[in-house]
Structure 1
Amino acid sequence: MKELLLPVSLFALSMCATPGPNNMMLTASGANFGFRRTIPHILGIEFGLLFMFVLNAAGLGLAFKTFPILQSILKIVSVGYLFYLAIRIAFSKPVNISTNTQAKPLSFLEAAAFQLVNPKVLMMALTAMSTFSIAGNHYSLSVSLIIAIFGLVCIPSISLWAGFGVLIGRMLKGRKSHTAFNLLMSGLTAGSVLLIV
Structure 2
Amino acid sequence: MSLELLFAFVAFAFVTSITPGPNNLMLLASGVNFGVRRSMPHMAGVCIGFTVMVAVVGLGLSQVFERMPVLHLVLRYVGAAYLLYLAWKIAYATSPAGDGQGGTRPLTFLQAAGFQWVNPKAWVMAIGAIATYTPQGNFTLNVMLIALVFGLVNAPSIGLWTITGSLLRHWLEHPRARRTFNIGMALLLVASLYPIVSEMGLTHS
TM-score by length of 2: 0.91
**Aligned partner of residue 77 in structure 1, secondary structure:** helix
Aligned-partner residue type, residue 158 of structure 1? I
Q: Which moved more, 1:165-174 or 1:79-88?
A: 165-174
Verify the 8 A CA contact 2:97 2:174 in the aligned structure 1. no
Identity %: 41
Aligned-partner residue type, residue 105 of structure 1? P
Question: Hey, what does 1:172 align to over in structure 2?
Answer: 172
Q: Give the distance between the partners of 1:13 and 1:100, measured in 2 at CA.
A: 33
**CA deviation vs aligned residue, 1:35-88 (integer Å, no higher than 9, x gap):** 100000000001110111111111111111111111210110010000000000
How much does 1:101 deviate? 5.0
**Aligned partner of residue 53 in structure 1, secondary structure:** helix
Question: Hey, what does 2:69 align to over in structure 1?
Answer: 68
Question: Hey, what does 1:44 align to over in structure 2?
Answer: 45
Question: Hey, what does 1:143 align to over in structure 2?
Answer: 143
Question: Hey, what does 2:157 align to over in structure 1?
Answer: 157
How much does 1:96 deviate? 3.5
Verify the 8 A CA contact 1:32 1:95 in the aligned structure 2. no
Question: Hey, what does 2:79 align to over in structure 1?
Answer: 78
Unaligned runs of 5+ in 1: none
Q: Give the distance between the partners of 2:142 and 2:56, measured in 1 at CA.
A: 15
* Aligned positions, number: 196
Distance 1:98 1:72, change over 3 A: same
Aligned-partner residue type, residue 139 of structure 1? F
TM-score by length of 1: 0.94
Aligned-partner residue type, residue 121 of structure 2? K
1:15 and 2:22 equivalent? Answer: no
Verify the 8 A CA contact 1:8 1:132 in the aligned structure 2. yes
Q: Give the distance between the partners of 2:77 and 2:68, measured in 1 at CA.
A: 16
Question: Hey, what does 1:35 align to over in structure 2?
Answer: 36
Aligned-partner residue type, residue 112 of structure 2? A
Question: Hey, what does 1:120 align to over in structure 2?
Answer: 121
**Aligned partner of residue 123 in structure 1, secondary structure:** helix
Verify the 8 A CA contact 2:34 2:99 in the aligned structure 1. no
Unaligned runs of 5+ in 2: 198-205
- Cα RMSD (Å) of the superposition? 1.5
How much does 1:195 deviate? 2.1
Q: Give the distance between the partners of 2:161 and 2:24, measured in 1 at CA.
A: 6
Aligned-partner residue type, residue 122 of structure 1? W
How much does 1:173 deviate? 3.5
Alignment of 1:85-100 (within 5 A): 85-94=86-95, 96-97=97-98
How much does 1:166 deviate? 0.8
Distance 1:98 1:35, change over 3 A: closer
